[in-house]
Amino acid sequence: MRGEALLDRIAARFKAGERLYLDVREWGELEERDADGGVTKPATPLRISYTPVTLENRSTAYQAGGGDPFLMHARLVALKACDEKGERLFDLGDAVDLLKKADPDVISRIAQQMTGRLTVELAEKN
C-alpha cells in the first residue's frame, strides 16, 4: 500500500484531535482554611488539556527554542496548553516568561508528559 491510502490510514490512527488532560498541582488553587485551621476549600490542581503533540509542534518548539531544551519545553507548553474547554492558556510569546518565572522542573514535566516521554521519576512527582 502506497500513497494517499497509506497516509490516510496513518492519520486515522494518530487521533490528532483527541483532547488529553493533565493536572498541575503547583499551578492550581491553594487550599483555604478557617480561623481554626479547618479546611474550608481543598486545594485543586490546574487542569491542562492539549491535543497530541505532532512532529510539526516539536519542530516549531525546537526552532523557536534555538536548540535550547529548556526554551523548547517552555515553547511547547505555551504552544499546546489549553484550559478544559480547549482555549489556549498562553501565547507563544509567553514562553519567555515561563522560562524566567516558572519552576523549570514543572515546565519540563509538563512538556515531557505532553510528548509521552514521562519517566517513572517524573510520574511519581506528579
pTM over 0.85: no
- Distance, CA of 76 to CA of 94 (rounded, Å): 11
Q: Is 58 helix (H, G, I), strand (E, B) or coil?
A: helix
User: Would you tell me which CATH number, out of the four given (3.30.2220.20, 3.40.50.720, 3.40.718.10, 3.40.50.10470), belongs to the domain 17-125?
Assistant: 3.30.2220.20
Summarised one tens digit per residue, pLDDT across range 9-68 is 777 777 767 899 999 999 998 878 888 888 788 789 999 999 999 888 888 888 877 778
Summarised one tens digit per residue, pLDDT across range 79-108 is 999 999 999 999 988 999 999 999 999 999
User: Measuring CA to CA, how many Å separate 106 from each of 12, 70, 123?
Assistant: 32, 11, 12
Q: Which residue is it, cell 517524573? A: 122
